[in-house]
Amino acid sequence: MRRTVAINSLLFSFVFLIFSHAASAQVGVGISVSFGPPALPVYEQPVCPAEGYIWTPGYWAYDDDDGYYWVPGTWVEAPQVGFLWTPAWWGWGGNAFFFHEGYWGPRVGFYGGINYGYGYGGEGYEGGRWEGNRFTYNTYVTRVNTTIIHNTYNVRVTNVTENRVSYNGGNGGVEARPTPEQESYANQRHVGPVAAQTQHIQAARGNPQLRASVNQGKPPVAATVRPADFRTGAVPARQAGGEYKAPPPNAARSNQARPANEGNPNAEGRPAGGAPANPTHASELQQHSFTPPNSGNEAADKRYQQQQQKLAEKQAQDHQKLQQQQEREHQQAAQKNYNDNQKQQMEQRHAQQTQQMEQRHTTQQQHVEQHQAPRPPAPKPAERPR
């Protein structure tokens, strides 16, 4: 049985670093949702503001409190010469949609086959290329003021019509699979979104008008000239990419950077603490918590709390490691089109792994509580009457 506890700052920092590291990889680890994002809205690309900027297409991101929200497409300076942008994308992982963060690297990797338009037709990027130390723009699909920017070319791109589908796999999703070369690109040297992109995402998340529940899939700011500037040259969506369907109540299944990977407290079969009675995946587990010692012996309490902290950090690592492993297997199952029997075997294995780890962690916690908890000093024997 779990106990109420205040997670101290060191443990929170540790868990936050784990999630930050995971989010930098091209793996759907940080966020999972049980229903897919809306269709991509129809909008016009703003003109490139200056040489060296590369187009990063807009996409639907997700927040636990507000649901899906639109991150406008924008022009971003490449972090270094030769780097290109691999867009973020959503993909079905067998039991939920997982988010894959975009990244900068020397090659454009797999982005779910999503046709974002303006050079991102679902594979690679045809909106421009590096020639030496200069980025040149393909004006066939990219809006550039050629009186200011002269390093351009014009090559016909056949796949210029976007189908508006915003996710890979699942019901109605894009049926694309990564090639071995695309998979290798994600393992090459690359970096995550730059600071300007992070600010752009934060600004989008804080804008109520960009929530799908408010704009019905037609965001009032669909694209911007520069990151986080939603006024100067901002472009509204001409229309939604399709009919917006509101998700059913309590349909989300998300685990974005929560210190405890907390579950839905309203879900059936879960105790008050939020964890399912019989967890089937590591993402459903909470971090084990400890009651801060208060025996009155300051030195003993400090030693005991250090033991608690050490065990909590180790268990957080175990949770994250198993969650990453299971979600990679979900992605592999989707890519290889597992049949129902293969999926069932995988889910049974995941449930066994999760429950075994949970039992092991519970035993470890009990051991710490029984053998390392400080004990109050024994009462002094009563003096004999003289």
The domain locations on the chain are 32-224, 255-371
Confidence (pTM): 0.61
- Tell me which amino acid residue 34 is: S
Distances (CA, A) of 239 to 165, 251, 379: 14, 26, 78
* Coil, strand or helix at 165: coil
Beta strands in 140-262 (DSSP E): 152-153, 167-168, 223-224
Q: Each residue of 365-382: b (16+ CB within 10 Å) or e?
A: beebbeeebbeeeeeeee
- What lies within 8 Å, CB to CB, of 318 at 6+ separation is 357, 361
Q: Tens-digit pLDDT profile for the chain (386 aa)?
A: 333 333 343 343 343 333 333 333 344 445 778 889 999 999 999 999 999 999 999 999 998 888 999 999 999 999 999 999 999 999 998 788 999 999 999 999 999 999 999 999 999 999 999 999 999 999 999 999 999 999 999 999 886 556 799 999 988 899 999 998 888 887 788 889 999 999 999 999 999 999 999 999 999 999 999 999 999 999 999 999 998 887 765 555 444 433 333 333 333 333 333 444 456 677 666 655 566 666 677 777 777 777 877 887 788 778 778 888 887 888 787 777 777 667 777 877 887 788 778 778 877 777 776 665 445 555 555 555 55
CB 103 within 8 A of CB 78: no
CB 104 within 8 A of CB 84: yes
- What lies within 8 Å, CB to CB, of 50 at 6+ separation is 148, 149
CA torsion angle 256 257 258 261 (round to 10) = 70
Cβ neighbours of 266 (radius 10 Å): 9
Question: What is the C-alpha to C-alpha distance for residues 146 and 155, in angstroms, rounded to an integer?
Answer: 15
